[in-house]
């Protein structure tokens, strides 16, 4: 049985409010008005150290289909994107249902198993092509799936590895327009120098090296910075992808083979929360400063400094802290740093984040942690420098206590305490 369309009542409760793209497109054609050409100055999203808001807790962002642009041309493209995602998911589910459930019940288990590896590889290859073509959250979905070796076959995870490396950078003209619109200043006035070639291009944004103007550099105490710029139009793409993923999650929740192993709708909701937080750079800047306050007295943990005068919701400027990647063992040895000491320090920092602070970096892959050699003549021979604070996590005191008791039980081989 192929996945069915959710009933209208279930869809309303899942999406909070249906999109109704078709009616919106028709209405916008009837009431078409020339769009204002005046460039918006984002004064409401630019902050100085004296006027920026002081974060008092985690920023809660919500999913809103109404955020999608009502431009008919955009709506047609977004509807096509939605159809491509849901069509791929429905065909993949139908294929799996046929070969994994129907054929075995008909006594054709050997026939179904004969081409399983080839089918899985073909399915993963098709998703690889789809994700690379669509970009947006599909890249992040591919990254997530490639890391789930505990759930997915190795044929799928291996095919999806390196998907992030295929993300093409945004044209520089689009990046400049995005920055000028957010900061309210021409690029040449915002920075003394700006590198057109990005140092990294991700599914949601990209990063460029730049130099601050002398006035701001004298105020903040450094010149070299890294500027993260959100891809233009990515908010609309994220909204559509989340609508499609919620539909797929609802389908999966009706498949007993899947629902017994995982709560697909809950996973989609968690993914939606983190994705919406990642496309708000003011939220990330607040995360940087909160993390820095936790380790303010720890000489071995460092973070970049936020340049609030050149930051907004879609633009984030940070001090350039580029150093040795934590997994670059030859470079560590060449700098006189013991990799074993680095591993021990990373473990200590991770445990302190989880069990002491209750606030941790949720994406600590090797590209997000640098090892900075220490200053000669000091007791600190290296520093762990964290970057990319778009994805953070919090642990309640009750959960922290439970985790500590569990670890003590494992170390003490107390099987009774594991259960309790």
Structure letter (DSSP) for residue 168:
P
Nearest to 160 by CA among 140, 179, 180: 140
> How far apart, in whole angstroms, are the C-alpha atoms of residue 329 and residue 337?
9
Nearest to 389 by CA among 270, 304, 300: 304
Q: Exactly one of 224, 298, 363, 414 is catalytic; which is it?
A: 363
Q: Are 169 and 207 in contact (CB under 8 A)?
A: no
Instruction: Say how far residue 335 (Cα) sits from the centre of its chain.
Output: 32
Instruction: Give the number of other Cβ atoms within 10 Å of residue 63's Cβ.
Output: 17
Active site residue 328: no
> How far apart, in whole angstroms, are the C-alpha atoms of residue 159 and residue 214?
48
Q: Are 180 and 39 in contact (CB under 8 A)?
A: yes
Nearest to 365 by CA among 386, 379, 351: 386
Strand partners, 359: 394
> How far apart, in whole angstroms, are the C-alpha atoms of residue 388 and residue 10?
36
Strand partners, 285: none
Q: Are 17 and 65 in contact (CB under 8 A)?
A: yes
Evaluated on CA atoms 83, 88, 89, 91, the torsion sign reads positive
Q: Are 204 and 235 in contact (CB under 8 A)?
A: no
Q: Catalytic residue positions?
A: 363
């Amino acid at each position: 049985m192929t996945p069915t369309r959710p009933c209208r009542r279930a869809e309303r409760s899942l999406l909070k409010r249906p999109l109704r793209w078709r009616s919106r497109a028709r209405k916008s054609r009837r009431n078409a008005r020339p769009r204002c050409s005046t460039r918006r100055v984002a004064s409401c999203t630019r902050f100085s150290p004296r006027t920026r808001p002081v974060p008092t807790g985690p920023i809660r962002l919500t999913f809103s289909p109404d955020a999608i642009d009502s431009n008919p041309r955009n709506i047609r493209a977004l509807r096509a994107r939605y159809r491509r995602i849901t069509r791929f998911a429905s065909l993949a589910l139908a294929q799996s249902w046929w070969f994994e459930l129907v054929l075995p019940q008909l006594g054709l288990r050997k026939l179904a198993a004969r081409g399983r590896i080839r089918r899985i590889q073909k399915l993963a290859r098709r998703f690889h092509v789809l994700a690379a073509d669509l970009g947006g959250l599909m890249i992040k979905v591919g990254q997530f799936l490639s890391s789930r070796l505990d759930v997915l076959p190795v044929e799928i995870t291996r095919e999806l590895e390196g998907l992030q490396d295929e993300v093409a950078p945004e044209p520089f003209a689009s990046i400049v327009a995005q920055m000028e619109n957010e900061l309210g200043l021409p690029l040449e006035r915002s920075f003394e120098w700006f590198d057109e070639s990005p140092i990294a291009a991700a599914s949601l944004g990209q990063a460029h090296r730049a130099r601050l103007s002398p006035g701001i550099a004298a105020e903040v105490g450094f010149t070299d910075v890294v500027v993260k710029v959100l891809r233009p139009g990515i908010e609309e793409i994220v909204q559509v992808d989340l609508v499609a993923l919620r539909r797929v999650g609802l389908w999966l929740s009706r498949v007993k083979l899947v629902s017994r192993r995982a709560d697909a709708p809950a996973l989609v909701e968690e993914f939606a929360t983190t994705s919406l937080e990642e496309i708000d750079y003011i939220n990330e800047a607040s995360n940087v400063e909160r993390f820095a306050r936790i380790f303010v007295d720890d000489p071995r943990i460092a973070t970049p400094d936020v340049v609030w005068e050149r930051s907004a919701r879609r633009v984030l400027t940070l001090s350039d802290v580029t150093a040795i990647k934590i997994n670059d063992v030859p470079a560590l040895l060449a700098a006189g740093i013991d990799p074993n000491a680095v591993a021990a320090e990373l473990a200590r920092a991770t445990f302190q984040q989880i069990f002491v602070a209750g606030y941790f970096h949720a994406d600590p892959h090797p590209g997000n942690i640098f090892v900075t050699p220490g200053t000669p003549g000091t007791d600190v021979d290296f520093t762990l420098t964290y970057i990319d604070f778009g994805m953070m996590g919090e642990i309640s005191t009750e959960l922290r206590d439970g985790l500590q008791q569990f670890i003590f039980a494992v170390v003490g081989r107390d099987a009774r305490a594991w259960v309790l």
